[in-house]
Each structure stands twice: as C-alpha cells, then as structure tokens.
Amino acid sequence: MLLSGSGSNFAAIAAAARDGSLPIEVRAAVSDRPAAYGLERARALGIPAEAVPVRDFPDRAAHDTALAARIDAYAPALVVCAGYMRIFTPAFVARYADRMLNIHPSLLPAYRGLDTHRRALADGARWHGCSVHFVSDELDGGPLVAQAPVPVLPSDTEATLSARVHRAEHRLYPMVIGWFARGRLRCQGGRAALDGVPLSGPVRVEGLYGEV
C-alpha cells in the first residue's frame, strides 16, 4: 500500500484483512514521506513499512523507479494508493496498469486534485463523497469503480465534512479491494468490469458515512 499521510485508510484495510473480512495479505506500507504517520501504524501492526524519500532523488522519474523497485520487492497482486499524494510518471502507471487502485475524496469527475472538501463547501454542494478508481495517466481520472455519496450539512466545516467522507472511505475501499481480491473486479482496455460486466459508470454505494 502507498501512503503519504495519516494512513487511516491503510488502517481500515489492514483491520479488515486482519479480522478475515477481506481475503488479502497487506504486504507493506511504502511512503514518499519518512514521517508519515501511516508508516507508524503499519509497524504497530507488524506490517513492513518503509519510505522512499523524494529528496534522495534528482527527479520524479528516478523517484518513481526507486519506488517501483521497493514495491516489486513485495510482489503485490494489487497496488493500493491510500492517500499517496504525488503524481506518478507515465512509466510508473504503465508498470502497474490494471492493478493499481486509488481513492479520492470527491465524487469524480468533480473536484480532482487538492482541497476537495473546501471546494465542495465553497460551491454550496449538497452532496460530496469519495471515489475508487483504477489509476491512469490522467490525474484522478482513471476508470471509476465505485463511489460513496456523502451529504453536506449546512453546519459543516472542512473538518466535519472530511471526517464524514473518511468514514465512507474506510468502508468503500475495503469493499472494492475485496471485489478485486475475489476476482470479481478487473480492469481491461481502460475499462473496469465487475462480475464480467463492463461498468458504464461507478457503482454507487449509499449510506456508508454512518451517523451524520
């Protein structure tokens, strides 16, 4: 799993793997940031954790090459981006084509990039949420797999909205990874398919955000 920050999605996925609800082995947490709290969470669970610091490499291509070498050392069937906040080179994306997932805190294609909660609030959006997609060359733009809508309340701040979206992420991401692990989800020719049926749009999973 790749992460840059707090690693709450990492923790949710690792917990589901540990309690047996998700039939996967989390092989490692790898970060671009040595100080990422997600690495500490991984170590506490006995999961290998390591950083490939950006500052050790002259450019993005060299960093991605080193990152790929560390990933490949664990021979994962699936690369899971869980709050990994750097843009990949096309060569890196091609290497993990059809076997790299990302979660993004918006109902894509709305609010690609950063500060999604602030932008949704500024727009007066009534619904926000999160999306899981296969990674392509387009930033936050690969084939969509699933989305969890989350209501925006008039009283919301960035913090309260972010917390509600995180609750949905922590349930949506293990669900989608489970589909992949059980052979139900595939990506071929730039299109995601579930149970052999190409998806014409993301699967919408309602009500994952818990109590509002």
Closer of 6 and 65 to ligand GAR (Cβ): 6
Phi, psi of 186 (to 5 degrees): -140, 160
Tell the smallest beta-carbon distance from residue 31 to ligand GAR (Å). 10
Give burial (CB, 10 Å; 0-12/13-18/19+) of 201.
exposed
Tell the smallest beta-carbon distance from residue 84 to ligand GAR (Å). 7
Longest CA pairwise span in the chain (Å): 48
Distance CA 108, CA 81 (A): 16
Inter-helix orientation angle 8-18/158-181, to 10°: 40
Tell the smallest beta-carbon distance from residue 103 to ligand GAR (Å). 5
**Interface ranges with ligand GAR (CB under 6 A):** 3, 5-9, 38, 82-83, 103-105, 130, 140, 166, 169
Closer of 106 and 185 to ligand GAR (Cβ): 106
Tell the smallest beta-carbon distance from residue 192 to ligand GAR (Å). 18
Distance CA 159, CA 51 (A): 28
Q: Compute the radius of gyration of the chain from its Cα atoms.
A: 17
Q: Which residue is catalytic, options 104, 117, 128, 170?
A: 104
Tell me whether residue 104 is one of the annotated catalytic residues. yes
For residue 194, what is the enclosing H or E element? strand 191-194
Closer of 33 and 63 to ligand GAR (Cβ): 33
Closer of 163 and 193 to ligand GAR (Cβ): 163
Residues 6+ apart with CB under 8 A from 83: 3, 4, 5, 6, 7, 8, 9, 10, 38, 103
Residues 6+ apart with CB under 8 A from 4: 31, 32, 33, 36, 38, 83, 84, 85, 86
Tell the smallest beta-carbon distance from residue 86 to ligand GAR (Å). 10
Closer of 22 and 82 to ligand GAR (Cβ): 82
Residue nearest to ligand GAR (CB): 83
Distance CA 95, CA 24 (A): 21
Residues acting as catalytic residues: 104
